[in-house]
Amino acid sequence: MGYDGLKLTRLVFFLLLFPLLASASAQFEFGSMERPGSLGRTLMVEDFTSAPGKTWLSVALMYLDVGGVRGLYDGGDPLYLHFGEGAVSLADLRLTNSTFGLVGSRVGPADGDLGLSLSSFSPPYPRLVYGDFGELVGVYDRNDTVYAKVGSPISEVSVGDVRLTWRDDLPPATAVNTSDPDRGAQVVLLHPGPDFAIWSPLARGQVRFYNKNGNVLEDDLSLPIYDAEDAVYFDVSFPSVPPRLFGYVRVAPCTGVIGDFVWWDLNENGIQDDGEPGIPGVEVILFDDGGRQRGISTTDGRGYYYFGGLCSGHYHVWVNISTLPELGEGAQWWPTEPKVGGDDSIDSDGVLVEEVDPLGRRIIPGSYYGQSSQAQA
């Protein structure tokens, strides 16, 4: 099973852009598409989160500036799908043919391009787009052509853009020329880049990989490791899976308080009269409205207790009867009459309830409601 947000299983079709070139099956050729019934239909694909010491492995389209026009991308510059940071690295994928290797091949330890400096495109390029040539107008389907869009105009196929899938008899990994029939065709965004491994609200999918050899990091999450044996996909499965996002806002410290007095009602009138003593050493427990314990307090030598730093809400204060002092001669404590008179600041709020709290203690509950940022007794 996959980790939430790390390993995602697809049981629908993928656009297979960059697999191993050496695979014997035609379904794994560069630019082919996984169709219902093909092997890739039931593969588990992984997010690129497996760089040792990092939380995310970036995936970018970059080029080697070795062509005739230095400082700008041109038809003589090899195009790469580059994983991570820095120069050409092991297992980077070649997206065009060059003297360093064929399209779909991976950079190996003895290859001449390993370690060479890569160049980035100027924003808003590169992008992954598709020409809406299929039967389903307005929706990406298997008959649409995918392009690496590397130059203006942004809304149509232009000279220098690279086909990543077939367009009629024009194969993948070929650059668009002036006379090509798809030049000038309108395009639709698949992914805005620059990191094609990251989900975006504008994206129709993202780059993921099939961990063929099962290599994982030796960490708590066993994150999958991308390496030269793994097949790379541009995942356009339905439904599109959004990221697992965790947003935070700043919340001011909570300043509400609940507290006051546990006392001996000597004249049994339900009112805190002058001279009536507090009861020290009584355990008082605070619960929120969901039944979660939020604190324990003990009355001081004068009978007072206090809970501070509370957010506005509905709370319950429970008195642990077993901590009331012994009276002797068989006498016992009993809650005085609650809610007597019209002054809530000097009446009693407790009633006896035959219930047991999570700690197994009989208790007397009272309810308090906090307004605004305060929780008041």
Tell me the CA end-to-end span of the chain in Å, nearest whole number.
Answer: 50
Residue recorded with tokens 């079709």: 13
> Which residues are 295's β-sheet partners?
286
CB 322 within 8 A of CB 356: no
Residue 237: per-residue pLDDT: 62
Q: Give the start-to-end residue ranges of the domains of the chain.
A: 256-369
Residue recorded with tokens 């995942």: 235
- The one-letter code for the residue type at 250 is R
Residue 358: per-residue pLDDT: 47
Name the nearest CA neighbour of 233 among 45, 37, 5.
Answer: 45
More confidently predicted of 15 and 60: 60
Q: In the structure encoding, which two tokens stand for residue 159, read together? A: 């000279």
> Which residues are 45's β-sheet partners?
8, 210
Name the nearest CA neighbour of 288 among 311, 260, 320.
Answer: 311
Q: How far apart are CA 126 and CA 194, in angstroms?
A: 7
Count of alpha carbons within 13 Å of 241, Cβ hemisphere only? Answer: 22
Q: At residue 185, does pLDDT exceed 70?
A: yes
pLDDT in tens, 40-94: 445 677 877 644 555 567 899 999 999 888 888 988 899 999 988 889 998 899 9
Name the nearest CA neighbour of 224 among 237, 208, 239, 235.
Answer: 208
Q: In the structure encoding, which two tokens stand for residue 373, read together? A: 């940022």
Q: At residue 298, does pLDDT exceed 60?
A: yes
Global pTM reads 0.56
Q: How far apart are CA 59 and CA 233, in angstroms?
A: 12
- Per-residue pLDDT band at 179 (split at 50, 70, 90): very high
283-288 sheet: strands from edge to edge: 293-298, 283-288, 314-320, 362-369, 353-356
pLDDT (average), residues 349-360: 59
pLDDT (average), residues 349-370: 52
Q: At residue 121, does pLDDT exceed 50?
A: yes
- Per-residue pLDDT band at 29 (split at 50, 70, 90): low
pLDDT (average), residues 173-189: 93
- The one-letter code for the residue type at 42 is T
Q: At residue 242, does pLDDT exceed 90?
A: no
Determine the 3-state secondary structure of 346 from DSSP: coil
User: For residue 172, is the peptide bond before it cis, meaning its omega torsion is within 30 degrees of 0?
Assistant: no
pLDDT in tens, 188-221: 998 998 888 887 777 877 888 888 888 887 766 6
Q: In the structure encoding, which two tokens stand for residue 141, read together? A: 């389907």
Q: At residue 171, does pLDDT exceed 60?
A: yes
CB 304 within 8 A of CB 259: yes
Residue 54: per-residue pLDDT: 52
- CA Rg, the chain, in Å? 34
Q: How far apart are CA 94 and CA 102, in angstroms?
A: 7
More confidently predicted of 130 and 334: 130
- Per-residue pLDDT band at 345 (split at 50, 70, 90): confident
Q: How far apart are CA 334 and CA 99, in angstroms?
A: 93
Around Cβ 68, how many Cβ atoms within 10 Å? 9
- Per-residue pLDDT band at 181 (split at 50, 70, 90): very high
Q: How far apart are CA 262 and CA 351, in angstroms?
A: 13
Q: How far apart are CA 208 and CA 239, in angstroms?
A: 16
Cα 266–Cα 270–Cα 275 angle in degrees, nearest 5: 40
Q: What is the CATH number assigned to the segment(s) 256-369?
A: 2.60.40.10
Kindly report the average pLDDT of the chain as a whole number. Answer: 78
- Per-residue pLDDT band at 290 (split at 50, 70, 90): confident
Q: At residue 184, does pLDDT exceed 90?
A: yes
Residue recorded with tokens 């779909």: 104
